[in-house]
């Protein structure tokens, strides 16, 4: 990959000097790899000194128009790009920072896409429960939808955080913030079925030091990665013939929206999602209103 040496130096810097978590380093890496791919394929630039503000703005517009990134993801990409170019100047790789004046592209607020109840049921019914992998995948899908947890929270979930005797899971979220999330009987049964009958078969003592006490393991005994979860979700959505773009986070969107559709209190949903601000949770009230509008249009005689 072009710019690989510069990227490796920067990632080492943010990890060692700035003390970022491994998840944050991976996010920086993913953002910048996509940025460099764009520069290489769309601009044919092979040297950092040739990058201009115009190139960066074109890339951000590409993210808006083609990748449909959220405002928060765009802001993170800008932060990644700015930080990298600042580093390049300090290290003497380039003389100027073309990202210094970059601004967030203007974009209408985009409501999160959600799955309706039938689509959720179709996906949850896809795993083959006659196989060990199917039992595990069923537990993963039920957990994503049943708790609304982030995929990074799911991959980091450990067995001692399953407190089923009181119907909760202890989730460690962003910034190591802990919250208790209620989990229903269906998800509990799916998780218990997996942990009791399948996980012991997947457990590999040689990989125990890395997998530690993680709930969800690969068939070889290593802890599942976020990409592994993405692949499981993709496989299930394709099997269910869902036409929407289905990814792990859509279960979180659907979890929140379905709770609000059912009359749940916004503050309670905020606590379950682990949002530090109620404003973040309020986006789902807009999704809920669109659902109400749809119901009104479909069933009211004068709609």
- How many other C-beta atoms lie within 10 A of the C-beta of residue 223? 19
**Nearest Cα residue to 143 out of 253, 300, 251:** 251
Question: Tokens representing 288?
Answer: 């809920």
Give yes or no: 275 in active site.
yes
Rounded Cα–Cα distance for residues 179 and 268 (Å):
12
Give yes or no: 106 in active site.
no
Largest CA distance in the chain: 70
Give yes or no: 220 in active site.
no
Rounded Cα–Cα distance for residues 88 and 97 (Å):
8
Give yes or no: 28 in active site.
no
Give bridge partners of residue 178 from the DSSP assignment.
172
For strands 178-182 and 162-163, give the pairing: unpaired
Among residues 110, 117, 174, 293, the one annotated as catalytic is 174
Give yes or no: 300 in active site.
no
Rounded Cα–Cα distance for residues 222 and 213 (Å):
11
Among residues 10, 38, 145, 284, the one annotated as catalytic is 284
Among residues 55, 85, 138, 150, the one annotated as catalytic is 150
DSSP letter, residue 162: E
- Cα atoms in the 13 Å half-sphere on the side-chain side of 169: 27
Give yes or no: 161 in active site.
no
Among residues 15, 82, 193, 249, the one annotated as catalytic is 249
Helix (H, G, I), strand (E, B) or coil at 179: strand
DSSP letter, residue 66: I
Annotated catalytic residues are 150, 174, 249, 252, 275, 284
């Amino acid at each position: 990959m072009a710019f690989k040496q510069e990227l490796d130096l920067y990632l080492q810097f943010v990890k060692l000097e700035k003390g970022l978590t491994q998840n944050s380093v991976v996010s920086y890496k993913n953002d910048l790899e996509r940025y460099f791919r764009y520069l290489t394929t769309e601009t044919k630039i092979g040297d950092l000194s040739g990058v201009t503000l115009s190139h960066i703005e074109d890339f951000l517009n590409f993210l808006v128009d083609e990748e449909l990134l959220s405002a928060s993801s765009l802001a993170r990409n800008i932060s990644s790009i700015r930080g990298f170019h600042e580093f390049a100047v300090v290290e003497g790789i380039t003389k100027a920072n073309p990202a210094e004046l970059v601004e967030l592209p203007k974009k209408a607020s985009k409501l999160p896409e959600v799955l309706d109840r039938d689509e959720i049921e179709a996906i949850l019914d896809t795993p083959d429960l006659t196989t060990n992998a199917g039992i595990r995948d069923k537990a993963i899908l039920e957990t994503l939808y049943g708790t609304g947890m982030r995929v990074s929270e799911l991959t980091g979930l450990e067995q001692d955080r399953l407190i089923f005797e009181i119907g909760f899971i202890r989730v460690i979220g962003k910034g190591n913030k802990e919250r208790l999330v209620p989990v229903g009987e269906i998800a509990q049964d799916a998780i218990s079925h997996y942990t009791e009958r399948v996980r012991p078969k997947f457990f590999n003592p040689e990989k125990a030091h890395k997998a530690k006490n993680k709930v969800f393991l690969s068939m070889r005994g290593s802890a599942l990665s976020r990409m592994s979860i993405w692949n499981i979700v993709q496989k299930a959505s394709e099997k269910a013939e869902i036409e929407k773009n289905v990814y792990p986070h859509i279960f979180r969107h659907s979890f929140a929206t379905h709770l609000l559709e059912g009359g749940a209190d916004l503050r309670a949903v905020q606590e379950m999602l682990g949002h530090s601000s109620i404003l973040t949770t309020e986006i789902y009230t807009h999704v809920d209103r669109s659902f109400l509008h749809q119901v009104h249009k479909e069933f009211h005689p004068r709609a």
